[in-house]
């Protein structure tokens, strides 16, 4: 059975109890990280998974709270003897900057470095990203301050579906991406350029006819706002909950 582990649920300002938003999809054959922040090796160990089983990374966009952990993850894997390839997926805009960031660390000179394969995705709706027995993933562009993608993930064995809005203003692309999904994970930073409020997230979920919603990328710590679930429920008729760090969703 595949599962999703929320590794972080906070917006761009993390706390000791809420890391920046990123998540892990664990299948029988592959293990996929969606965004990479903080100290990835430690975070994966805290989630009870072996980082050596990581096969793929999707980088949704090149903001520090979504991509800053990549150099440390790659260096630590190399120092700990990884040999098998790692696949990294993202838009051209995103991966060009990931490679530039790694070049600043002069990674081409790291001896006996394991293969890292970049897969550059076009900015088209429902672009195929990855297909295996565990999950089938498509990406669509969403409306953020820089090029960014949301994801739709199908789990063939259970016939369940998940959508993740990533950071976005309300947009039709997310509605189409998440139509009739079993779970929609939608950001709730607050109404602002490139972001959505909890109520706006609920409106998207209602239009998409999603069965359940999880709010993520919401303010935490001293910026925490109460009532997000109730706010989303004012627009969405299904179940709503807050994503929490290390929450597991079985598919």
CATH number of 3-250: 3.60.15.10
pLDDT at position 119 over 90: yes
Query: Is there a contact between 202 and 231 (Cβ–Cβ < 8 Å)?
Result: yes
> Is pTM beyond 0.95 here?
yes
Q: Phi and psi (nearest 5°) for 212?
A: -145, 150
Strand 116-121's sheet: what is its strand order?
116-121, 86-91, 56-58, 31-34, 22-26, 3-8, 248-250
Residues 11-27: what's their mean pLDDT?
A: 96
Query: Is there a contact between 201 and 171 (Cβ–Cβ < 8 Å)?
Result: no
Question: What's residue 1's pLDDT?
Answer: 84
User: How far is 218 from 48, CA to CA, in rounded Å?
Assistant: 25
Residues 194-207: what's their mean pLDDT?
A: 98
> For residues 12-22, b (16+ Cβ closer than 10 Å) or e, as one string?
bebeeebbbbb
Question: What's residue 152's pLDDT?
Answer: 98
DSSP 8-state symbol, 222: G
Give the pLDDT confidence of 125-183 residue by residue, as tens digits: 999 999 999 999 999 999 999 999 999 999 999 999 999 999 999 999 999 999 999 99
């Amino acid at each position: 059975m595949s599962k999703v582990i929320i590794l972080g649920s906070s917006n761009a300002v993390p706390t000791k109890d809420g890391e920046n938003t990123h998540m892990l999809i664990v299948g029988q054959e592959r293990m996929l990280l969606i965004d990479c922040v903080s100290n990835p090796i430690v975070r994966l160990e805290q989630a009870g998974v072996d980082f050596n089983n990581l096969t793929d990374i999707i980088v949704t966009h090149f903001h520090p709270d979504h991509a800053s952990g990549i150099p440390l993850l790659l260096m630590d894997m190399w120092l700990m003897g990884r040999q098998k390839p790692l696949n990294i997926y993202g838009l051209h805009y995103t991966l060009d900057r990931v490679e530039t960031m790694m070049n600043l660390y002069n990674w081409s000179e790291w001896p006996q470095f394991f293969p890292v394969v970049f897969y550059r995705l076009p900015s088209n709706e429902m672009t195929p990203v990855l297909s295996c027995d565990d999950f089938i993933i498509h990406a669509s562009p969403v409306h953020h301050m820089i090029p960014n993608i949301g994801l739709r993930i199908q789990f063939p064995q259970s016939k369940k579906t998940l959508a993740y809005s990533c950071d976005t203003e309300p947009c039709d692309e997310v509605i189409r991406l998440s139509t009739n999904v079993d779970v929609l994970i939608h950001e709730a930073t607050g109404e602002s350029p490139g972001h959505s409020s909890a109520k706006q997230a609920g409106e998207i979920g209602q239009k998409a006819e999603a069965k359940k919603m999880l709010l993520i990328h919401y303010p935490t710590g001293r910026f925490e706002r109460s009532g997000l679930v109730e706010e989303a429920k004012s627009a969405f008729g299904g179940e709503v909950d807050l994503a929490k760090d290390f929450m597991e969703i079985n598919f």
